[in-house]
Structure 1
Amino acid sequence: MKLTGTPFLILSTLLVPLSIVLLMALWGRVGGPKAVRAAGRLGLVLFAQVTAVVMVFVLVNNANQLYATWGDLLGSDSHVRAVPPPPPADGPATATSPGHQKVIQQFTAVDDPAVPKDVKETQLKGQLSGVDGEVLVWTPPQYDDPAYQGKTFPVVELLAGFPGSASAWFGSMDVSKQLAPLMKSGQVAPFILVSPRVTLLPGHVDTGCADVPGKVNAETWLWRDVPQMVLDNFRVDPVADHWAVAGYSAGAHCATRLAIAHPNRYRAAIAMSGYNDPKGESDSLTAKDPHLDEVDNPLYMLTHAQTPPNVALYLTGGRKGEGLDDAQALQKAAKSPTTVNPVETTGPHATATWKPMVPTAFTWLSQYVKP
């Protein structure tokens, strides 16, 4: 039974009243010696408590899309098929290899009741990264309009936090529902929204969206394989001026570092409640490696770039460790043509804070990434 499916939600909800009924009905019927009766009644109480905890977990998980599968929850799934040497970071961003042949993907509806029906999913085998995983794609209202036939569209990659599933931006963040009317009215550019899997390793390990030798090519997966799939299957322009990346929490850290590292792929980034130091996520692979901990810090990347990257950054965060200080540090270090726009926010480190920011952030993005 699927973790995020409706059947499991219904089952977990029904088990709560059932456990209470069983507790009341069987409490006086438990027989045997005193110790046996005590153990039996304790078992009934524990069963009622467990069903209540499971129901609450399912409701919270479905609302926030933290874990997409049982494997994600248990930390047993690996999406790393191989770890080949990654391509040069400054290499071409428009093809996986000379003479690249398009790979046409099959897309299906997303099996998640929280995700809108117009969002499609494909299983992608990363040719350069050795990573396999799902990628969700939503096309704007104009995409199938005959008036736009033959037109190309800008792209935004959406990165969830950790833990977080590829469904989170379309479910708990409601990104497509919020932006569709703004796109129709012309207030927001008609972006194709692409949300790839970011949880790749077993054991509840955050990759830090980096290429870690011998472990995972998460960065190559995000900036080469996923964009190449979009280029192969949708009407998009390969030029960086038509691409952006957005994320929240750990995904915000990833969005910032990917944009700074690959200005030949991304023109802009939105980062909500991100951080610079990889130790912002204690379990990230980059934080555990002294070298990666240093060089995968967006502030280090920006200050050590050979030439200032031509990227625009929209960085939201609160004070006291919620990202504003890190955003202001990047603003202070930025040199033209890099632009950094820190936005102070209030509220908890949660979807309830980030979701209302979507219209404003994507309106800002429309100034830099256009059709």
Structure 2
Amino acid sequence: MSLLGTSLIVLLAVLAVLFPVATYLLWSRVRGPRPVRAGSRVALLVGGQLTTLVLVAALANDYGDFYTSWSDLFGGGQVNINQATVLHAGGPQVSRSVHRHQPGDPAVHGVRLDVNKADAHDLRVVGDTNFSTRSQWAVRGRVEAVLLSGPQSGLSADGYVYLPPQYFRHRYAHHRFPAVEVLTGYPGSAQGEVSSHQDYPGHALQAVRAHKAGPMVYVFLRSAVVPVRDTECTDIPGGPQAETYLAQDVPTVLQSALRVRPNDWGLMGDSTGGYCTTKILMHHPDTFRAGVSLSGYYHTIHDPTTGNLWAGRKPLKDFNNPEWLAQHEAPPPVSLMVTISKQERTYRDTVRFLHLVRPPMRVTAVILPTGGHNFVTWGAEVPGALAFLSQHLSAGS
């Protein structure tokens, strides 16, 4: 029986009804010694509770495609990125060579976020992580926890900044790096992106060491800037200006505080973060040149977590719809990488978006035969995604 689909849901729903009925009918009919009777009744109660919990989990999984097969659920499934099909849409793919950075550059001691250049109300370092010690900054880089306040949106959010090892070396003391904004899905946790859960800094470090990507500065943020509401990175009429915060405030503040290049930013995110990546990339090609959408979707949604984000205004809804933008607006000169598994619910949505893309916008689609809407699948895709961003930003300059 498939993990997804109605068959499993129906079976679990029937069991969830039968267990309480059986408990009612058998409660007084259980025979045997007192321990046996007590154990049987406990088994009926626990069985009913577990069946209900499994039913709820199955409904959630069927909705979100988190696990698409039993082997995927129990860890036996493997995501082989080499089995992916790669498609191109829009204009020709443009890439840049990746500079092979020397590992032996001397360290610049004492370098950290230069918050003196930024308004103290805009960026505040609130803590360090255990990613590296001071002596390791020029070898592993550094991850710092920050509170970033937006001067235009008036919003504030916790996040993390990863500075690559080159940032701390004398050779790059006056070098400005490309920057990548990494957005979570909903609800998501920025801390999860820098911890062993997803470990983006580790992936970035390995990509540079393997000469598959150049050093870049990363900022990790929740896509839901004002939890618990899922704002879908939207400037809500009369509400939070989430897109302004992510697309304008974050680059402006960090460009004032760090040695990052203006107008040479990348975006990356999974699920809702993938939708946000695509939309912001298409809205702001003057700042963001490339993006990666991991299992994202390409249409506006309205559900209990979002509410009405557009105040009933169809033009505003269309403006936040990547499919509509690709079909009706002038395509921006940006590069986007999208990943999806054929087993995910948004596979057809992705294919439909690819058919709408026109030059000079360029899209590379990495389509896996198997895989779920989960961190295992995305973890296999991240190395290629970082290489893509490096090639399409000025990481090799």
The equivalent residue for 1:148 is 172
Deviation at 1:358, TM superposition (A): 0.8
Displacement of 1:322 in angstroms is: 3.6
Asked if the contact 1:207/1:286 (under 8 Å) is kept, the reply is no
Larger Rg: 2
Does structure 1 residue 342 correspond to structure 2 residue 358? no
Could you say what the CA RMSD is over the residues aligned between the two structures, in angstroms? 2.9
Match of 1:332 among 330, 341, 355: 355
Structure 1, unaligned stretches of length 5 or more?
Answer: 1-37, 54-100
1:282-321 counterparts in 2 under 5 A?
283-285=305-307, 289-290=311-312, 291=314, 292-305=316-329, 307-319=330-342, 321=344
1:247-292: CA deviations, max 9, x gaps? Answer: 0011111011110111111111100111112228652245675424
What corresponds to 1:274 in structure 2? 296
4+ aligned runs moved over 6 Å, structure 1: none
**Are 2:204 and 1:186 equivalent residues in the alignment?**
no
CA positional deviation for 1:321: 4.7
CA contact (8 A) 1:116 1:170 kept: no
Distance in 1 separating the partners of 2:252 and 2:150 = 9
Q: What secondary structure is seen at the aligned counterpart in 1 of 2:288?
A: coil
Secondary structure at the counterpart of residue 267 of structure 1:
strand
Deviations along 1:65-124, whole A, 9 cap, x unmatched?
xxxxxxxxxxxxxxxxxxxxxxxxxxxxxxxxxxxx84253324357x7x7773112212
2:21 corresponds in structure 1 to: none
Q: Secondary structure at the match of 1:119?
A: strand
Q: In 2 relative to 1, CA 199–177 (structure 1 residues): closer, same or farther, beyond 3 Å?
A: same
> Structure 1 length normalisation: TM-score?
0.67
How much identity, in percent, do the aligned residues show?
A: 30
* Structure 1 pair 106–289 and aligned structure 2 pair: CA distance change class (3 A): closer
Matches within 5 A, 1:56-71: none
**Secondary structure, aligned partner of 1:138:** strand
For 1:9-48, list aligned pairs within 5 A.
Answer: none
CA contact (8 A) 2:161 2:219 kept: yes
In the TM superposition, what whole-angstrom CA distance separates every residue of 1:173-218 from its partner, at most 9, and x where no partner exists?
A: 111112202213432121101012333335x320010000111100
Indicate the residue corresponding to 2:148 in structure 1. Answer: 124
Question: In structure 2, which of residues 346, 362, 379 is the aligned counterpart of residue 355 of structure 1?
Answer: 379
1:134 shift after superposition: 1.3
Deviations 1:295-334 (A, max 9, x none): 31111122222x3201111011123554332232222222
What is the SS of the residue equivalent to 2:388?
helix
C-alpha distance in 2 between matches for 1:224 and 1:238: 11
Residue identity in the other structure for 1:337: P
- Decide which structure has greater strand share: 2
How many residues of Structure 1 are paired with residues of Structure 2 in the alignment? 273
Matches within 5 A, 1:244-255: 244-255=266-277
Q: Which moved more, 1:209-218 or 1:274-283?
A: 274-283
Distance in 2, matches of 1:209 and 1:194, equals 16
2:94 aligned partner = none
Of the structure 1 ranges 141-150 and 177-186, higher mean CA displacement relative to structure 2 is found in: 177-186
What's the counterpart of residue 230 of structure 2?
A: 206
The equivalent residue for 2:119 is 103
Distance 2:302 2:185 in 1: 12
SS in 1 for 2:336: strand
Q: Distance in 2 between matches of 1:311 and 1:137?
A: 24
Provide the secondary structure at the position in 1 that maps to 2:159. Answer: strand
Give the 3-state SS of the residue equivalent to 2:225 in structure 1.
Answer: coil
| Higher RCO, Cα 8 Å, sep 6+ | 2
Mark the CA change 1:274 to 1:282 in structure 2 (over 3 Å): closer, same or farther: farther
User: 2:234, 2:309 within 8 Å by CA — same for their partners in 1?
Assistant: no
CA distance in 2, matches of 1:351, 1:286: 29
1:366 Cα deviation from its structure 2 partner: 1.7
- For residue 239 of structure 2, the aligned residue among 215, 218, 222 is 215
Equivalent-residue separation in structure 2 for 1:280 and 1:351 (angstroms): 25
The answer to whether the 8 Å contact 1:330/1:340 transfers is: no
Describe how 1:168-187 pairs up with structure 2 within 5 A.
168-171=192-195, 172-187=197-212
Matched to 2:211, the amino acid is G
**Could you list the runs of 5+ residues in structure 2 that have no partner in the other structure?**
1-37, 54-116, 134-141
* Cα distance in 2 between the residues matched to 1:174 and 1:286: 34
Name the SS for the 1:357 alignment partner. helix
Q: Is residue 2:163 matched to residue 1:139? A: yes
Q: Does the aligned pair in 2 maintain the 1:268–1:311 contact within 8 Å? A: yes
CA distance in 2, matches of 1:321, 1:297: 20
On the 8 A contact 2:294/2:338 being kept in 1, the answer is: yes
Cα deviation code 1:115-154 (max 9, x no counterpart)? 7773112212211001111131001111111111101100
Indicate the larger mover: 213-222 or 292-301: 292-301
Contact map agreement 1:158 1:247 (CA 8 A) in 2: yes
Contact 1:273 1:322 in 2 (8 A): no
